[in-house]
Amino acid sequence: IDAGMVLPPVNDPRFAYRPLVRDRLLVALPARARDRFARGPLPLASLAGEPFILFPRKAGASLYDLVVGCCERAGFVPRIDQEAIQMQTIVSLVAAGMGVALVPESLRHLRRTGVEYRALRDSTPPVEIGLAWRAADESPAVGAFVALATEQTARLGASRPWRGGR
């Protein structure tokens, strides 16, 4: 693998990291469960009794801690029934009716049948998504890919393109 989309932190000096997007969290609900919830943005507390699908902490401590922390601030500890290491898998499990998930807004573009994305009424910290690659890699292809990913993320109007440097 020459480069990959990752959730920070990237604390290994062998890797370079560039933040690309800061996304807000959305709720991914099974479409067949939408009638159990009020229309419009949802208060996070309304998910207190729901089974959650989440990234395992060992695979993404920042996202795991963000989601659990948001739930705790809303007055409950999420009941984590399923874990998955890929966001596409999390969304597929939601579509299968296995539970709900808090996911970065950019996943809305997956348009997975059986999933309804809803905004949260609560304010939540943003989720940063970035690009990592081997710091010592001087390949022109990797350099071009990093530049292209940075440019395209901003051009395509990602939810919150990164405006800072690094």
Q: What is the pLDDT of residue 156?
A: 67
Q: What is the pLDDT of residue 164?
A: 45
pLDDT 10s digits, 47-67: 999 999 998 998 888 889 999
Q: How far lies 68's CA from each of 6, 48, 81, 148, 155, in Å?
A: 19, 12, 13, 34, 32
Q: Please, which pLDDT band fits residue 46 given cuts at 50, 70 and 90?
A: very high
CA-angle at 23, arms to 125 and 110, nearest 5°: 135
Q: How far lies 165's CA from each of 3, 17, 43, 107, in Å?
A: 19, 11, 34, 24
What sign does the CA torsion over 52, 57, 63, 69 have?
Answer: positive
Kind plus residue range of the DSSP H or E element containing 148: helix 140-155
Helix/strand/coil for 68 = helix
* Cβ(32)–Cβ(114) below 8 Å: yes
Q: Please, which pLDDT band fits residue 157 given cuts at 50, 70 and 90?
A: low
Helix/strand/coil for 87 = helix
Q: Largest alpha-carbon pair distance within the chain?
A: 53
Buried b (16+ CB within 10 A) or exposed e, 45-78: ebbeebbbbbbeeeebebbbebbbebbeebeeeb
Q: Judge residue 83's burial from the number of C-beta atoms within 10 Å of its C-beta, 0-12 exposed, 13-18 middle, 19 or more buried.
A: middle
Q: Does residue 166 surpass a pLDDT of 50?
A: no
What sign does the CA torsion over 43, 48, 54, 59 have?
Answer: positive
The rounded percent of the chain whose pLDDT value lies above 70 is 93
CA-only gyration radius of the chain, Å: 17
Q: Please, which pLDDT band fits residue 162 given cuts at 50, 70 and 90?
A: very low
| CA–CA gap between residue 101 and residue 29 (Å, rounded) | 7
Over residues 94-113, the mean pLDDT reads 90
